[in-house]
Amino acid sequence: MSGFIVFFVFKAARVIVASRSYADFASEATFDIKKCDVHKLEETPPTTAVLTREEGLQYYRTMQTIRRMELKSDQLYKQKIIRGFCHLYDGQEACCVGLESGINPTDHLITAYRAHGYTYTRGVSVKEILAELTGRRGGCAKGKGGSMHMYAKNFYGGNGIVGAQVPLGAGIALACKYFGKDEICVSLYGDGAANQGQIFETYNMAALWKLPCIFICENNRYGMGTSVERAAASTDYYKRGDYIPGLRVDGMDVLCVREATKFAANHCRSGKGPILMELQTYRYHGHSMSDPGVRQVHCPENYYRTREEIQEVRSKSDPITLLKDRMLNNNLSNVEELKEIDVEVRKEIEEAAQFATTDPEPPLEELGYHIYHNEPTFEVRGANPWIKYKSVS
C-alpha cells in the first residue's frame, strides 16, 4: 500500500512540475537568420525573424511528420508494397513548411514529382498520401496517381514531366490576375529542371504580363546522379530570370524560407510582377528509388556525392535539428515536450501505414472514372477492345 502511495505522490509531483514548466516557457523569441543574396532588388527580406512558441511547435510537428512519412515510404517501397516512381523529400522539409507559412491557404501551388511534403502542407492527411502511394481506394487520387500525381484544393500536383509544371503555374497566375483576386501562384521546380527551355519561355511571358507568380527553384545540389556544376554553366539560379528579380535563400532554415516567402508574396501582390527564389537545400535519399544516392566505384571524383558529405549535412544543417535547438536554447519548449510530439507522430505514421496496406485497391471497373469533371457518363474502351468501361465524374 505504501508503495502505491509513494508512486501516486511521485506521479502527481511530475504532473505539477510539468504544468509549471509549461507555464514558464517563453511565448516567443527573435532569431538572426542568414541574409539572402538578391538580384535586381533594392530591398531585401529581414535578417531577423520572430518565432512564437505555437509556431515553433507546429513547424516541428509538421517537419517531423513529413520526415517520418518519407522514411516509411522508403520502407514500404523496399518491401515492394509501393511500386513505380517514388521521389522522397526528407532533408528538404524546411522548404515546404517555411513556404506554406509565408503564403495564404487561398494562394495556389504547383510543383514537380517530389511532391509528398507539399501535398501534406496543403492539407492532405498522411493516411491519404500513403494510401495513394500504395495505390489504394482511400488515396488522395483514388489510388490512380501514385507518388507523382497528388492533388488538393489550390494544389495542382505533383507533375511527372520535368519542368512542365512551370508554364502551368504561370497559367494559374494569369487566372489570378484575370479574376482580380488577391491571390498568387507558387510554381516550384528543381535544379535539374532549371535548364529546361520552357522555363525561360515562361519567365518571358510572366515578366511581360506582370503575373503574380513566385518561381521557386529547389536547388538540392544534385539531379539524377549529377551535381549542379556538371549540369549548368551558371548555378546562380536566382539570377536566371534576367529581368525578373531574384532571391537566394537558405532552404535548410524554416524561418529564412518563411521570411523570404512573405517578402516575395508581397512583391507579387503589389502588382510588380513575378519574382524568382532559389532555395538552397539538400535531399538525403537519392533522386528516386532507382538512384543509390551516393558515388559508385566507377564514378569520376566530381560526379556525385559521398556518404561523408550526406553525414556532414545531417550533422550541421538538418532543418529539424536546427529548429529543435533554437526552441530548446530559447525556452520555447523542452526535451520532454518534443519527445511527446515525436511519439505522437510515429503513432500517426504507423496507423496511416496500416491503413495504406489494408485498404482495398480500386476495382477494374473504375478504370474510366474521373476522366473529366462534371461530364455525363460515356463509354471508355479498355486495352481489350471488347471490354467497355463507364466514365463517372
pLDDT in tens, 174-195: 999 999 999 999 999 999 999 9
Question: What does the pLDDT read at residue 373?
Answer: 85
Q: Is the pLDDT of residue 172 over 50?
A: yes
Look at residues 319, 149, 129 and name the one whose alpha carbon lies nearest to residue 220: 319
Q: Given this model, what pLDDT does residue 5 score? A: 41
In this prediction, residue 19 carries a pLDDT of: 44
pLDDT-derived band at 8 (thresholds 50, 70, 90) equals very low
Residue 28 confidence class, pLDDT cut points 50, 70, 90? very high
Lowest mean pLDDT among 68-72, 247-251, 301-305: 301-305
| Percentage of the chain lying above the pLDDT 90 cut | 81
278/302: higher pLDDT = 278
What DSSP assignment string belongs to 221-232?
Answer: SBSSS-BHHHH-
Question: Is the model's pLDDT at 82 over the cut of 50?
Answer: yes
Higher-pLDDT residue of 385 and 69 is 69
Q: Which residue carries 539560379 as its cell? A: 237
The yes-or-no verdict on residue 54 having pLDDT over 80 is: yes
* Residue partners of 16: CB distance under 8 A and separation at least 6: none
Q: Find the distance separating the first CA and the last CA of the chain, reported in whole Å.
A: 66
| Of the candidate ranges 20-29, 39-48, 92-101, the one whose mean pLDDT is the lowest | 20-29
Mean pLDDT of 102-124: 98
pLDDT given at position 129: 98
| Rg (the chain; Cα; Å) | 23
Mean pLDDT across 369-391: 86
Which range among 21-35, 166-180, 182-196, 231-245 shows the weakest confidence by mean pLDDT?
21-35
**Average confidence (pLDDT) over 44-66:** 98
| Residue 348 to residue 336: CA distance in whole angstroms | 19
Q: What is the pLDDT of residue 300?
A: 59
Position 2 scores a pLDDT of 45
Task: Return the C-alpha cell found at 221.
Answer: 545540389
pLDDT the model gives residue 126: 98
SS3 42: coil
pTM (2 d.p.): 0.91
Out of 6-10, 76-80, 249-253, 376-380, pick the least confident: 6-10
Instruction: Please give the pLDDT value at position 298.
Output: 64
Q: What pLDDT is attached to residue 367?
A: 86
Residue 16 has a pLDDT of 41
User: Which pLDDT value is given to residue 13?
Assistant: 43
> Which is nearest to 269 in space by CA: 104, 37, 123, 39?
104
Average pLDDT, the chain: 92
Evaluate the CA torsion angle 137, 120, 224, 285 in order and state its sign: negative
